[in-house]
Amino acid sequence: MSQRKKRNKRAPKRGKNPQPSPATTDEQQEDLIQTVEAATVAVRDGDVPTVRRLVDHLREHHPEHYRTYSFRAQVAIWDGEEEEAVRLSREAMARGGDTIFAVVARHLEILNSYGLHEEVLEILDNEAAQWSDHINLLRHRYQALRGLHRRMEARDFLENQFNAGRDLPPSLINDLAMLAFDLGDKAGGMGWLRKALEKSPQSNLLWSNLLMLAHYRPDLSLAEIDDIYREWREACIDHLPRNTEFERDTSADRPLRIGFVSNGFLAHPAGWMSITGMRFLADYFDHELFLYSIREGNPSDPVANRFREIATCYTNIAGWSHQEVHDQLLDDELDLLVEMAGHSERNVLPAVAQRVAPVQVKWVGGLFDTSALPTMDYLLTDAVETPPGSEYRYTEQFIRLPGGYVSYTGPSSFPEINHLPALQGEPFTFGCLNNLHKFNETVAELWSSILTAVPGSRLLLKDRKLDDPGVRQWVLELFAHFEIDSERLVLEGGSPHRQLLETYNRIDVALDPWPYTGGLTTVEALMMGVPVITCPSETFAGRHAASHLQNVGLGDFIARDFSQYRALAISCSREPEAINQLRQSLRSMVRKAPLSQYLQFATNLDSAFRAAWGRWCRGEPPSPINFSDAAQIPEDVLARARQELEVHSDARRHGSAYTQGNKRNKKAIKPKKKLMGENFHIMLGTEEKHLAPFINVMDSDLNEFSNHYALIGAKDRWQNLVNGQTAEYFSNHQDLKRLEDYAKQAKRIFFHGLWVKETYNLLQRDPALFGKTFWMPWGGDFYFPETQPKEKNDVIKKIGNLVTYVDYDVEYLRDNYGAEGIYWKAKKVPVFHDKKYEDDGPKNDNLKIIVGNSSFPTNNHLEAFNSLKGFNNENISIYAPLSYGSSDYAEKVTRLGHQYFGDKFRPVTQFMAREKYKKFLSEFDIAILAHDRQQALAMCYFLLGMGKKLYLKRESPNWKHLTKIGFIVHDLSKLRLTRLENSEKDWNIKLSRDFNSPEKFKNDWQKILSAD
């Protein structure tokens, strides 16, 4: 992580201005010890509510103690308060914590995680010098030096420790191997991995690193690589037991339970190359997709959220043991398992090696060669990646997909493509934006020969490792060996993804490395109009670029050897007009290529999976599956896809008045000549259940402010509107045009959602409105930026004010849209604590459980059902509200609910008014909401205020939001069917009385309605 600017002064050092913790009595000391021990365990377990309560106790009884400050720093980290976390941790050190190893080590960890590496080194050389030999502090020094881009110094430090006889753990020796690789010493790096394996000979992590790095070396033969695979199997795989018996329904056309295991369900090459193909498989084919994430994406990562959205069941298995993963996969009774991590970091190949499904398939992700697993039945590939004759090296049977083995989805918008730089007076520029691990002496010699043959040309290399002077020195020295001056090299470090893509506007032709070629990097170059010259090698990783170039129709850029590679590069430099013409058409070529034909790709996947499954059902062994042509898209699927393309996605999802209201409400009320209030609210009828109560409260409790409401949609949608004398109904495009006049008159404009393009187009037409606009964002309004229209993305960035109570939503908007608006903290809808629904104890022995809040797939009902299956013999009743959302999904949930729980399951399909719904919720003991994104937050508020036990996913935004407030919620992965303890119930009810009070809602909105 790069060094960040220090914005806080360091706390005074002990001895200069010490602030020791006060003396305590024996009783106080005992209380302190017990509380610290309990808090330490809670931090280790990630039990946020318990830590918060214990920190409150420490602040009340031991407010000045260094341990109090240290734990407060941890809470600040959970709250995303970087500066406060650093300040509190520094304060803990200043108050005597600098003499306690645990406090010092935690402080160093915090500083390193926030990029304050210089301060880490200063402490290691001063306060922490007494523990200089401790292994943890060695790791902190290494991390600080690497974070400061001082890899040579970090390497020398660890090598000196090793040579001095220090017993370094395998993990640190692995770090040393990575440093060697970063600095160009590939043989040395593999040598260090061998030393680490001497200490931990059965470490799957170390063996996988050795295998991956071997594929970067041009001097290793296939036989030498195959020997490493054999050693790995002998050390990590061959001794494992294997499951051979699976009882499955062998009906030919039934929906299949397909599991996908990956560390790339996020903005990652494997994610970009699979998400849309998998989404179309989930949307158009009747399969249940079980996703198992080895590495969780940031909650603001749009690709990670999209994966969660498409899953029938999504399980975060980060940190699980191989045996735990194996057991979970078996318990889920999969028909097929698709492995997508290969020999990359945190993989779970030993779990898959024991066989967890009747059919096991390897696909994109850590796919640089065979998995080498005897239990991996198939490999999804294509005829370029694995040409005829390559079968002998693979343990898998090939499924050669037509048109390529992946699909591609990029960011929501790409930079514009410029004209060829060489035609604008710039030197002809070759470039490579691949991982620098793919760079080596063989590549340097080849590229140098091209630069020599093209006078005045230059080479641009870009990789975050080039921020390190030691890495730059290695690259420059290597080119100097081949007589290339540094002036002809442009070496650039890391940058945000969009800036990286813009770099292609300075490149004329891209050069592919060897023997490990570019995958996602190749496709991104093509999307930016830059052709790529490649020379395939013999491994799967050595043919990535060739596969993508063939897919797009650029087979002429695939060289048979280095001589032709060089000739192609020279030829391109001599034909700039032709290259420029190609440049302007490449993006369109990618979008028309099989890479971007998502429905066809999903059909190919479905056909491949069904063919493999059919062979198992017939008792046949795995054998090659080849397609003579693309699979036939079923007529019903094609018809449905065409129909859905005709309807704007937002209007379809939210029942917009633009597509449904015009015929019903021809007698819309004409607008008054003048706006009836200084605050103009634009609201969509499909959210009436939330917005009608908002209007009622505004016009009764905040009537000192004048408000005018534009209610979009048929008038009959607003039946629950009690007040709203200044409400006006809009239903057709002619009416909607008059919104612009009101917007110009208003002092403040409030968008209650941006569902409909005609509303946010108001802001595009008149940028002067942005500053006085307040937007109340709803989850479906902005999640998955890659699916949102570009004009909407631009509007979100410029809107002047954001109104929500969910910090996570604001972080998401800033990270994914660059939203610049002022953050106003207030609830979008009134959710008031109601004393009459507070829980007064169990009515009987039957536990009533509510699962989900609607029939949208984002409820992840099946995941919740899987958690409940083990309690089927208990005295329980399970209810699932399915009154709005997708009718197809509601039918699926109903079918599975009855299948799993029989007559204990009761779907609720009747929509309820708010008061009836609150009474309905008050009858439950336990609620399970398995959403991955922010959803059903009002329901959460109601349930917690009623004293109900609420289970959420720990990684979900709702968990983060509610625990940050201080509510006690429970982790769905640790489900126990017991009612909420009285102490926890009392705490949540007390907190709800304050947090969900009408006074708080009124005070928050008074500030907004008074804003200048």
Asked if 872 and 973 sit in the same domain, the reply is: yes
Q: Is residue 143 part of a domain?
A: yes
| Mean of the per-residue pLDDT values of the chain | 88
Asked if 817 and 844 sit in the same domain, the reply is: no
CA atoms of 374 and 575, how far apart (whole Å): 50
Q: Is residue 533 part of a domain?
A: yes
Of 547, 564, 595, the position where a domain reaches its end is: 595
Asked if 389 and 509 sit in the same domain, the reply is: no
Query: Is the pLDDT at 898 greater than 60, yes or no?
Result: yes
Query: Is the pLDDT at 662 greater than 70, yes or no?
Result: no
Output the pLDDT for position 452. Answer: 98
* Tokens, residue 144: 């600080």
Asked if 352 and 431 sit in the same domain, the reply is: no
Output the pLDDT for position 669. Answer: 32
Asked if 448 and 475 sit in the same domain, the reply is: yes
Output the pLDDT for position 933. Answer: 82
Rounded to an integer, the average pLDDT of 712-741 is 62
- Reduced DSSP (H G I as helix, E B as strand, rest coil) percent helix, strand, coil of the chain, to 5: 50, 10, 35
Rounded to an integer, the average pLDDT of 658-679 is 43
Q: Is residue 688 part of a domain?
A: yes
Question: How does pLDDT run across 235-281, given as a tens digit for each residue?
Answer: 999 999 999 899 999 987 899 999 999 999 998 999 999 999 999 99
Type and span of the H or E element at 523? helix 520-527
- How far is residue 128 from each of residues 11, 122, 124, 134, 486, measured CA to CA in Å? 15, 9, 5, 10, 42
- Among residues of the chain, what percentage have pLDDT more than 90? 64
Specify the pairing of strand 625-626 against strand 679-684.
unpaired
CA atoms of 335 and 613, how far apart (whole Å): 8
pLDDT band, residue 22 (cuts 50/70/90): low
Rounded to an integer, the average pLDDT of 168-195 is 96
Residue 573 belongs to what domain range? 421-595
Sheet of 257-262: strand order equals 313-316, 288-293, 257-262, 336-340, 359-362, 378-381, 397-400, 625-626
Output the pLDDT for position 3. Answer: 33
Count of Cβ atoms closer than 10 Å to residue 542 Cβ: 22
Look up the CATH number of the domain holding residue 783: 3.40.50
Output the pLDDT for position 10. Answer: 37
Rounded to an integer, the average pLDDT of 1-23 is 38
Q: Is residue 250 part of a domain?
A: no
Query: Is the pLDDT at 156 greater than 80, yes or no?
Result: yes
Q: What are phi and psi of 788, to 5 degrees?
A: -85, 145
Which class for 834: exposed (0-12), middle (13-18), buried (19 or more C-beta within 10 A)?
A: middle
Rounded to an integer, the average pLDDT of 284-301 is 84
Output the pLDDT for position 17. Answer: 41
pLDDT band, residue 446 (cuts 50/70/90): very high
CA atoms of 528 and 503, how far apart (whole Å): 9
User: Residues with Cβ < 8 Å from 850, sequence gap 6 or more?
Assistant: 878, 879, 880, 881, 921, 924, 926, 927, 928
Asked if 819 and 880 sit in the same domain, the reply is: no
- Among residues of the chain, what percentage have pLDDT more than 70? 91
SS3 872: coil
Look up the CATH number of the domain holding residue 309: 3.40.50.11380
Count of Cβ atoms closer than 10 Å to residue 411 Cβ: 18
Output the pLDDT for position 851. Answer: 97
Query: Is the pLDDT at 355 greater than 90, yes or no?
Result: yes
- CA 288 vs. chain centroid, Å, equals 21
Output the pLDDT for position 184. Answer: 96
Structure pTM?
0.69
- Torsion sign, CA atoms 244, 245, 249, 255: negative
Of 85, 113, 148, the position where a domain reaches its end is: 148
Type and span of the H or E element at 988? helix 982-995
Output the pLDDT for position 736. Answer: 61
Look up the CATH number of the domain holding residue 58: 1.25.40.10
Q: Is residue 561 part of a domain?
A: yes
Rounded to an integer, the average pLDDT of 137-161 is 95
Asked if 849 and 985 sit in the same domain, the reply is: yes
- Nearest to residue 377, comparing CAs of 339, 348, 334, 323? 339
Look up the CATH number of the domain holding residue 530: 3.40.50.2000
Query: Is the pLDDT at 678 greater than 60, yes or no?
Result: yes
Asked if 278 and 375 sit in the same domain, the reply is: yes
Of 547, 572, 595, the position where a domain reaches its end is: 595
Asked if 371 and 277 sit in the same domain, the reply is: yes
Output the pLDDT for position 319. Answer: 83
pLDDT band, residue 82 (cuts 50/70/90): confident
Q: How many CA atoms lie within 13 A of 257 on its CB side?
A: 19
Q: What are phi and psi of 71, to 5 degrees?
A: -70, -35
Asked if 902 and 990 sit in the same domain, the reply is: yes
Query: Is the pLDDT at 733 greater than 60, yes or no?
Result: no
Number of domains composing the chain: 5
Q: Is residue 656 part of a domain?
A: no
Query: Is the pLDDT at 653 greater than 70, yes or no?
Result: no
Q: The tokens 């569902």 sit on which residue?
A: 755
Q: Is residue 393 part of a domain?
A: yes
Question: How does pLDDT run across 820-852, given as a tens digit for each residue?
Answer: 999 999 988 888 888 888 887 777 889 999 999
The alpha-carbon radius of gyration of the chain (Å, integer) is 30
Asked if 807 and 855 sit in the same domain, the reply is: no
Asked if 857 and 806 sit in the same domain, the reply is: no
Output the pLDDT for position 14. Answer: 36
Name the more confident of 557 and 863: 557
Query: Is the pLDDT at 12 greater than 50, yes or no?
Result: no
Alpha helices for 62-134 (secondary structure H): 66-78, 82-94, 101-113, 117-125
User: Residues with Cβ < 8 Å from 751, sequence gap 6 or more?
Assistant: 682, 759, 760, 773, 774, 775, 776, 799
154 contacts 179 by C-beta, under 8 angstroms: yes
Q: Is residue 572 part of a domain?
A: yes
Rounded to an integer, the average pLDDT of 72-101 is 90
Q: What are phi and psi of 295, to 5 degrees?
A: -135, 120
Rounded to an integer, the average pLDDT of 542-554 is 97
